[in-house]
């Protein structure tokens, strides 16, 4: 099934539910960055989490998630926006760790010590920045901890990425459930039990039931309606204008040195992998080629 994001509204009320299938989006990220299986799983979960949080924002706002763990992946960064676009990267995309118990060990790859930094740009004078300690390195656990502790909203986050034997993304998705003030205790307990029994977010997606399969299990026993939100997409905002600002920050002397030594000025967007070149200081930026120079 195609990627899609939805909001669910339990009739019991007082629950905020967002869910998304992000298989194509995460596969696009894998292709662009040439990530190892473990890096793909970590980045895919982070992208899906950022996307879900982005659905809670409005206008031109954004939420940036940065895991700064002590694991071999280094930083894991993802940004989500209200228009259902997301972008992100892993500092060391080639890093990998052995599976644990037959499953990809994202926690070990991210690291179980370090910080999760959340930056919300709401269009105000300064962005809102919050930092919480990494709990397990499992992306969903850390996001749930941030939401519960920093934003003081009891939350559960389920995120999953299934990697095929060919190291491609076979399924990816996630669900966010938040208990709002006034949520009946029995409803919160039921959803918590359902989430505990869920096992894996990608099972329903792989079975062909899409994100609805995840909702059916998490909200089992509750009446609810579903509102489509749209199609998630990997999209970056790098542009010649942003590159000009970066080049200006280097200063004319450094820019001239790069041009004299290399013959061109090269820039690579960390978020999407797109490479740009500039052949003289007054000339335009040109795309050097499509991103995705890593594993196919």
- CA-nearest of 23, 69, 79 to 271 is 79
Residues 76, 33 share a domain: yes
Residues 262, 187 share a domain: no
Question: What does the alpha-carbon distance between residue 13 and residue 22 come to, in Å, rounded to a whole number?
Answer: 26
CB 172 within 8 A of CB 21: yes
CB 233 within 8 A of CB 88: no
Question: 132 in a domain, yes or no?
Answer: yes
The pLDDT assigned to 77 comes to 98
Residues paired with 80 in a beta bridge:
63, 86
Instruction: Give the CATH number for residue 273.
Output: 3.90.1280.10
CB 228 within 8 A of CB 188: no
Question: 249 in a domain, yes or no?
Answer: yes
Rg (CA), the chain: 20
Residues 268, 121 share a domain: no
Instruction: Give the CATH number for residue 91.
Output: 3.55.30.10
Instruction: Give the domain-ending residue among 218, 234, 250.
Output: 234
Question: 66 in a domain, yes or no?
Answer: yes
Residues 120, 29 share a domain: yes
Residues 89, 24 share a domain: yes
Residues 91, 169 share a domain: yes
DSSP letter for each residue of 243-286: HHHHHHHH-HHHHHHHHHHHSSEEEE-TTT--EEEESSTTS-EE
Instruction: Give the domain-ending residue among 214, 234, 254.
Output: 234
The pLDDT assigned to 289 comes to 64
Strands 15-21 and 4-10, sheet pairing: antiparallel
Question: What does the alpha-carbon distance between residue 74 and residue 268 come to, in Å, rounded to a whole number?
Answer: 18
Question: 120 in a domain, yes or no?
Answer: yes
Question: 49 in a domain, yes or no?
Answer: yes
The pLDDT assigned to 244 comes to 85
Question: 295 in a domain, yes or no?
Answer: no
Residues 203, 251 share a domain: no
* Segment (H or E) for 42: helix 37-54
* Cα torsion angle, 9, 234, 147, 169, sign: positive
Residues 196, 272 share a domain: no
How many independent structural domains does the chain possess? 2
The pLDDT assigned to 79 comes to 98
Q: Which residues span the domain enclosing 265?
A: 240-289
Residues 247, 263 share a domain: yes
Residues 188, 264 share a domain: no
Q: What secondary structure letter does DSSP report for 135? A: S
Question: 294 in a domain, yes or no?
Answer: no
The pLDDT assigned to 205 comes to 87
User: Mean pLDDT per segment of 10 residues, for the chain of length 296 residues?
Assistant: 92 91 98 97 98 97 98 98 98 96 95 97 93 97 96 93 96 95 87 86 85 91 95 93 84 86 87 90 80 46
Distance of CA 167 to the CA centre of its chain: 19
Residues 117, 76 share a domain: yes
Question: 158 in a domain, yes or no?
Answer: yes
Residue with tokens 């919160």: 188
The pLDDT assigned to 294 comes to 41
Residues 265, 185 share a domain: no
Instruction: Give the domain-ending residue among 219, 234, 249.
Output: 234
The strand ranges marked E within the chain are 4-10, 15-21, 62-69, 75-80, 85-90, 114-121, 128-133, 155-163, 169-179, 224-230, 233-234, 265-268, 275-278, 285-289
Q: What secondary structure letter does DSSP report for 164? A: P
Residues paired with 88 in a beta bridge:
78
Write out the two tokens for 142: 């850390």
Number of neighbours of residue 15 by Cβ within 10 angstroms: 20
């Amino acid at each position: 099934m195609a990627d899609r994001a939805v909001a669910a509204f339990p009739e019991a009320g007082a629950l905020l539910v967002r869910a998304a299938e992000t298989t194509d989006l995460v596969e696009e990220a894998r292709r662009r960055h040439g990530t190892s299986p473990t890096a793909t799983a970590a980045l895919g979960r982070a992208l899906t989490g950022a996307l879900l949080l982005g659905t809670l924002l409005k206008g031109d706002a954004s939420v940036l998630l940065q895991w700064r763990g002590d694991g071999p992946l280094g930083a894991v960064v993802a940004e989500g926006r209200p228009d259902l676009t997301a972008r992100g990267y892993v500092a060391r995309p080639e890093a990998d760790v052995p599976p644990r118990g037959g499953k990809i060990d994202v926690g070990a790859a991210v690291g179980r010590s370090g910080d999760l930094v959340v930056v919300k740009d709401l269009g105000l004078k300064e962005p809102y920045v919050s930092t919480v300690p990494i709990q397990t390195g499992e992306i969903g656990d850390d996001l749930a901890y941030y939401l519960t502790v920093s934003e003081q909203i009891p939350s559960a986050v389920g995120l999953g990425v299934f990697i095929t034997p060919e190291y491609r993304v076979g399924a990816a998705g996630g669900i966010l459930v938040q208990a709002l003030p006034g949520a009946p205790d029995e409803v919160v307990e039921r959803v918590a039990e359902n989430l505990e029994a869920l096992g894996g977010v990608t099972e329903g997606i792989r079975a062909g039931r899409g994100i609805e399969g995840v909702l059916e299990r998490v909200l089992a026993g509750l009446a609810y309606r579903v509102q489509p939100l749209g199609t998630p997409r990997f999209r970056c905002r790098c542009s010649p204008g942003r590159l000009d600002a970066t080049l200006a920050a280097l200063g004319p002397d450094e820019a001239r040195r790069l041009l004299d030594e290399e013959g061109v000025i090269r820039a690579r967007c960390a978020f999407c992998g797109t490479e740009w070149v500039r052949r003289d200081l007054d000339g335009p930026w040109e795309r050097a080629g499509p991103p995705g120079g890593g594993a196919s």
